[in-house]
């Protein structure tokens, strides 16, 4: 009987310890974490600060694109090209450019990306009305072709911005897939 009583007390003490531990370490997610506005101490729209960590679904890890193009390459119009890329700021926007042998590409963000994130492609002219979670993508080969939809997967690796884009439909009816790394 004494053994049973001691075993029961140890069991309840362990359960109580687990309950107290998890109730004290629980992360409280506020209602502003779902309002599509960067507010209440968030470091990006609806993530960071009091909300889930920014990154792949809030895991804080890298975002995983659905394709794996070779670094600093682009496939456009069935042509594989090596890209020589760089980034620059202009009028509050951050632009990543890639120059290939047969075409050039430009991805425009409203601000320089600082966290791993998936950006939705906006069709806003010059990205003028794109939100903080959108970017614009354009390919130039004799003509300029704007992206019609899709996503750009951005990871920050060693301080560099790595942008990956997969089968992005362009206004020409063609698609583009690629990867660019720039400081």
**Are residue 101 and residue 178 in the same domain, yes or no?**
yes
Q: pTM for the full model?
A: 0.67
Residue 79 has pLDDT above 80, yes or no: yes
Average pLDDT over residues 143-163: 91
Residue 149 has pLDDT above 90, yes or no: yes
* Residue 84 resides in a domain: yes
**Are residue 102 and residue 143 in the same domain, yes or no?**
yes
**Are residue 177 and residue 99 in the same domain, yes or no?**
yes
pLDDT score of 36? 67
Average pLDDT over residues 151-158: 92
Choose the weakest-confidence range: 36-40, 101-105, 156-160.
36-40
Residue 55 has pLDDT above 90, yes or no: no
* Residue 68 resides in a domain: no
Q: What is the 3-state secondary structure (H, E, C) of the chain?
A: CHHHHHHHHHHHHHHHHHHHHHHHCCCCCCHHHHCCCCCCCCCECCECCCCCCCCHHHCCCCCCCCCCCCCCEEEECCEEEECEEEEEEECCEEEEEEECCCCEEEEEECCCCCCCEEEEECCCHHHCCCCCCEEEEEEEECEEEEECCCEEEEEEECCEEEEEEEEEEECCCCEEEEEEEEC
**Are residue 173 and residue 84 in the same domain, yes or no?**
yes
Domain that holds residue 27: 2-54
């Amino acid at each position: 009987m004494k053994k049973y009583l001691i075993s029961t007390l140890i069991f309840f003490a362990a359960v109580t310890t687990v309950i107290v531990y998890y109730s004290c370490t629980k992360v409280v997610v506020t209602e502003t974490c779902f309002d599509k506005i960067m507010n209440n101490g968030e470091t990006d729209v609806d993530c960071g600060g009091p909300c889930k960590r920014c990154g792949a679904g809030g895991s804080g890890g890298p975002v995983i694109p659905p394709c794996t193009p070779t670094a600093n390459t682009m496939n456009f119009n069935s042509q594989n090209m090596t890209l020589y890329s760089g980034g620059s700021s202009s009028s509050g926007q951050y632009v990543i450019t890639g120059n290939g042998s047969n075409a050039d590409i430009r991805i425009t963000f409203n601000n320089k990306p600082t966290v791993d994130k998936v950006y939705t492609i906006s069709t806003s002219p010059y990205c003028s009305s794109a939100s903080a979670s959108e970017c614009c993508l354009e390919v130039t080969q004799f003509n300029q072709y704007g992206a019609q939809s899709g996503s750009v997967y951005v990871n920050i690796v060693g301080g560099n911005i790595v942008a990956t884009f997969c089968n992005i439909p362009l206004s020409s009816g063609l698609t583009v897939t690629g990867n660019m790394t720039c400081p």
